[in-house]
Amino acid sequence: IFIRREGSKHHQTSKFGIMPTERCEELIALTLQSATNRGYKEDFETIKKIQECCKAFTEDDVKALCEKATEAFIQDGVLAMVDAPVTIVGDVHGQLYDLIELFKIGGIAPQKNMLFLGDYVDRGYYSVETVTILFALKVKFPKRVTLLRGNHETRQVTQVYGFYDECMRKFGSSKAWGYYTSAFDFLPLSAVVDNSIYCPHGGLSPHLNTLDEVRALESHCRKEVPHEGAVCDLLWSDPEDGISGFNMSPRGAGYTFGEDTVEKWNQTNALNIVCRAHQLVMDGYNWNHNNKTLTVFSAPNYCYRCGNLAGILVVNENSSVEQYEVRSFSDAPRETVTNKPVPREMPDYFL
């Protein structure tokens, strides 16, 4: 999709942040190295080092990192403004090997802006490593990396779908989980890319008509996500073809929304498309509403059994022309894990 734009944009120079601990600095170095590896053997070696680095994190290290990340989230506000070129990433769900593959395919900060649409934890085996990497990238490159809140970045959901159990297993107590989930409260709820793409984790809300109304949520969204209302809708709603308006969602939270609601939202706010995550789609991406709504899902072979591709949206800017490019990729090879945890049985609402 090519969209003609007027004039050119000057990008704000990325300012490198100060890492709170030496372990955080080491983790950043290993992550950037992983994006330049030339083979899976090198990937395995780097991922082992990443796992060892994260294993060495103490609860005080996690607390320091989460405090610095929270400061960066507050600076972004409830509605983050993001410039192109940018790689937009959907759910990653603790799939560390696939996150490293994603960095190779979509680029990594500081060379390119990155926008993550939420759901960093749960389901996968490496939620702690995944969210720690993303928090560290945000602290190191605060102007280049934007993290949004997904419906899994809550206390209630993470206690059911794996992140709490993983923190207990890897740290021996719930303190680290408490630090991470407290930081989740300050993640932005949505973003706008180049004044043309609206990016929530889930979708639209019948309680919101303008971007200013999203910004107005600042005063009462820095807490656990409620079971209903505008904040809940942004994280839980889904697009659906063939319907009008907003309808009750089978998820039990949020709504399904039709093409007419997207047309009205885009027209009112001078936007072109809505790009969101939240739903498993087998090709890694899916267009709804006559190409007005795009879903990207970035966890390939979700839950290590669904067989889906992953997708990302790369928004390139070239003079007065802005290009949207969707890239798909399959799951990365993983070394045989002999001592992987046996997760407790979980409800499959997401599938």
Which of 158, 152, 162, 260 lies closest to 204, judged by CA? 260
Parallel, antiparallel, or unpaired: how do β-strands 190-193 and 197-200 relate? antiparallel
Q: Which of 10, 11, 93, 152 is catalytic?
A: 152
Kindly list the distances between the CA atom of residue 348 and the CA atoms of 27, 42, 209, in Å, as whole numbers in the listed order: 33, 35, 32
Kindly list the distances between the CA atom of residue 177 and the CA atoms of 45, 127, 180, 293, in Å, as whole numbers in the listed order: 27, 11, 5, 34
- Do 285 and 328 touch, CB atoms closer than 8 A? yes
Parallel, antiparallel, or unpaired: how do β-strands 145-147 and 246-248 relate? unpaired
| Active site annotation includes 207 | no
| 3-state secondary structure at position 109 | coil
Q: Please, which residues bridge with residue 246 across strands? A: 257
The helix (H) or strand (E) run that includes residue 315 is strand 310-318
| Residue matched to tokens 């072979």 | 301
Task: Give Cβ neighbours of residue 136 (< 8 Å, ≥ 6 apart).
Answer: 19, 24, 27, 28, 31, 65
- Report the residue count for the chain: 351
| Distance separating alpha carbons of residues 313 and 286, to the nearest angstrom | 11
What angle do helix axes 40-55 and 22-34 make, rounded to 10 degrees? 170
Cα–chain center distance at 240: 22
- Do 94 and 121 touch, CB atoms closer than 8 A? yes
Kindly list the distances between the CA atom of residue 254 and the CA atoms of 21, 119, 247, in Å, as whole numbers in the listed order: 39, 16, 9
| 3-state secondary structure at position 43 | helix
Residues catalogued as catalytic: 152
